[in-house]
Amino acid sequence: MREEFILTGQVLSFDASPFEADAPTDAARLSDAVLVRDGKVVELGSRADLQALAPEAPVRDHGQDLVLAGFVDAHVHFPQTAMIASWGKRLIDWLGSYTFPEEMKFGDRAYADEIAGRYLDLTLAHGTTTVCSFCTIHPESVDAFFTAAQARGQRVVAGKTCMDRNAPEGLRDTAQTAYDQSAALIDRWHGVERLEYAVTPRFSPTSTPEQLEAMGALWRAHPSCLMQTHLSEQTDEIEWVKSLFPTARDYLDTYEMFGLLGARGVYGHAIHLEERERHRLREFGAALVHCPTSNTFIGSGLFDMAGLMAEGQRIGLATDTGGGSSFSMLRTMAAAYEIGQLRGRPLHAAELLWLATQGSAQALRMEDKIGNIAPGMEADIVVLDLASTPAIAQRSAGAQNLWEATFATIMMGDDRAISQVYVSGHPRQEGR
């Protein structure tokens, strides 16, 4: 039976990247309504035109709320949900003090199920409809995450995190078990409904050359998978990598030499890049993921959004739960704006929204499916109340245009701004 409806509101879509337009707003398009049928976008236009096209379709009126594609979080660690906002450490000490002890718990499938469900419900409440997540070394953690996403109908990416050194004994696998367990998980989950697998070496310091070589071989055997890892997050991390791989030309080379650089590679952070690394990443069309709340919370540095965009890099945006200090992509956009200010190039509201939707979808090579409201796209949609709190409402009331009003919600909004979330056309917020 065909299921269709018309959503009305201020429907935002993008015809191009705001970073490449003469003015950021030139890339955006506003419509009055969107027709959704069987979980996909059919058409955008005026309410009258869409009602003429589908006269039997019920109308879900969102008034003056902003209707846009659901947020896409391109780099997260769902197992770190319970330890988010842990105080006072930089990356290497933070992993040892907080992350690794928490991840040890995920061999327990019941605990993994609990945290996976909690994480996805928290992020859906913040308007995030797609995430790309690291799991733990335990296959149970991957099964738990994909099962929870499947129950919610979400499009997600995830992979077993592989580590065979510089981690506690209970969190180490081997080159062979990493390959074998990852391959079995790919066979079980990759391409099932809206689920995709990512080959997942955590980062070079926690994998021996033998394991990195095995991960490169696994990726070559399954080229439709993404490959996710970390790159150049902190300066002391980079020095550590140099000591572990003395023959490597740079940090990126510790992946490149083992076949872990490619167009479907997704590299979190990428703050302190050398010129060769920037050139090779652009040459391969790999994706970089900006994690602004994490970069400030752990003291990593300031991502060069303007310079990397000018080079033509593929860039997404992410919370990096739980190094990042929020589950909210609104808060993440606000932090990206603040980092842009510190680097002398503040981001426009159109650029921020694009990064959190289409930009991240491009980073995950899913821009033909999610990240925009356009005919044929999957109907993952978030509806933003642009007057969700008294402080935001008074600023929105004085705004000269939609972009000023939206910027107030980006900077001050939280889950109260999420009026409704649709996953494949199905509403997720009860009673709204």
For residue 432, pLDDT beyond 60: no
Q: Range of 419's domain?
A: 4-69+373-427
**Averaged over 175-196, what is the pLDDT?**
98
Tens digit of pLDDT for each residue in 339-364? 999 999 999 999 999 999 999 999 99
In a domain, 336, yes or no: yes
DSSP string over 140-183: HHHHHHHHHHHHHT--EEEE-EE--SSS-GGG---HHHHHHHHH
Closest CA to 172 of 259, 218, 107, 261: 107
Of 363, 383, 414, the last residue of a domain is 363
Q: Do 306 and 410 share a structural domain?
A: no
In a domain, 159, yes or no: yes
Burial of 406 (0-12, 13-18, 19+ CB in 10 A): buried
Tens digit of pLDDT for each residue in 140-178? 999 999 999 999 999 999 999 999 999 999 999 999 999
Identity at 133, one-letter amino acid code: S
CATH at residue 109:
3.20.20.140
Q: Do 99 and 248 share a structural domain?
A: yes
- Contact (Cβ atoms closer than 8 angstroms) between residue 158 and residue 135: yes
C-alpha R_g of the chain: 21
In a domain, 193, yes or no: yes
For residue 56, pLDDT beyond 80: yes
**pLDDT band for position 186 (cuts 50, 70, 90):** very high
Q: Do 211 and 118 share a structural domain?
A: yes
For 252, list phi and psi in degrees, rounded to 5.
Answer: -60, -30
Q: Do 328 and 189 share a structural domain?
A: yes
| pLDDT given for residue 96 in this prediction | 85
Report the distance separating Cα 287 and Cα 68, nearest Å. Answer: 23
Report the distance separating Cα 432 and Cα 421, nearest Å. Answer: 9
For residue 46, pLDDT beyond 60: yes
In a domain, 252, yes or no: yes
